[in-house]
């Protein structure tokens, strides 16, 4: 069993428990009481490279990363540093996150919030919207093509912007065929958990010019933002580097400043 398979199995068990506690109708009612979802695409399509800053306590590859007693305060620091959006891990077993983290962040920041989890059902999309998410992660490797297409359509219909994650050429083609307009290339190999930034360089040319390209994993500092930008990234998603930093606000600001370099303007 691969790491992804193991995570998906655990996520499915946890999902079943939540479905027994909260009906889909209840989720839809909760979602209807949320403010309209924020659209991240204008910021992502602006000049330069945008930053999605992540609230992430642990990971399968590194184990515990940070305690993060107050995810809302961390998100506020990210926003103050100039992040265009906040990513919140809500998977509990391997990443130590919860939907409560997402709710707390949503109640604090006024920029788009991404639910980052292992979403395989429309129920989870409704969970995301009910908790105040504006975006939802869909991992191509975890989904059959018909399911991927259905979830992209459902996410869009309820106001969520789907961030569709890919890892290789076949997944790029599947994401494009499914109609994804925001595609994240994860530099982390799902089998070995190792990071190779060149994955983005290899896959970026395969993505249509109309797609917003997100570089996920591998950003350790401003130089990596510029490197990803050279390969065509419009957005970078950064987690581990920020949660381990003593001054996340300043670190985000440094990444944002790198993404605003004059050489990176007018790339659309």
Q: Which residues are catalytic?
A: 54, 56, 116, 165, 186, 216-217
Contact between residue 3 and residue 191 where contact means Cβ atoms under 8 Å apart: yes
Is residue 114 a contact partner of residue 86, using CB atoms and an 8 Å limit?
Answer: yes
Q: Residue 142: which residues within 8 A CB-CB, separation 6 or more?
A: 4, 8, 118, 120
Q: Which residues contact 264 (CB under 8 A, 6 or more apart)?
A: 47, 48, 49, 226, 229
Q: How many CA atoms lie within 13 A of 68 on its CB side?
A: 33
CA distances (Å), origin 24, targets 65, 120, 145, 193 = 33, 15, 24, 34
Ramachandran region of residue 132, left (φ > 0), alpha (ψ -120 to 50) or beta? left
Residues 91/94/96/99 CA torsion (nearest 10 deg)? 10
């Amino acid at each position: 069993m691969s790491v992804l398979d193991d995570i998906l199995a655990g996520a499915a068990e946890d999902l079943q428990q939540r479905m027994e506690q909260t009906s889909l109708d209840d989720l839809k009612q909760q979602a209807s009481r949320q403010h309209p979802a924020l659209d991240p695409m204008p910021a992502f399509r602006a000049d330069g490279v945008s930053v999605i800053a992540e609230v992430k306590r642990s990971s399968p590859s590194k184990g515990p990363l940070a305690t993060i007693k107050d995810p809302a305060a961390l998100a506020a620091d990210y926003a103050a540093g100039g992040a265009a959006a906040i990513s919140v891990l809500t998977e509990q077993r391997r990443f130590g996150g919860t939907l409560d983290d997402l709710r707390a962040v949503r109640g604090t920041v006024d920029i788009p919030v991404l639910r980052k989890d292992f979403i395989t059902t429309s129920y989870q999309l409704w969970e995301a919207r009910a908790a105040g998410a504006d975006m939802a992660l869909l991992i191509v490797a975890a989904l059959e093509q018909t399911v991927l297409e259905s979830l992209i359509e459902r996410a869009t219909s309820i106001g969520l912007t789907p961030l569709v994650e890919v890892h290789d050429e076949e997944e790029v083609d599947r994401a494009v065929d499914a109609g994804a307009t925001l595609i994240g290339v994860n530099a982390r190999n799902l089998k070995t958990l190792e990071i190779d930034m060149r994955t983005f360089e290899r896959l970026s040319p395969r993505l249509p010019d109309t797609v917003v390209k997100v570089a996920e994993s591998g950003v350790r500092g401003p130089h990596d933002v510029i490197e990803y930008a050279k390969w065509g990234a419009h957005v970078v998603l950064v987690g581990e580097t920020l949660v381990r930093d003593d001054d996340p606000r300043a670190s985000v600001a440094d990444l944002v400043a790198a993404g605003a370099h004059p050489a990176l303007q007018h790339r659309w």
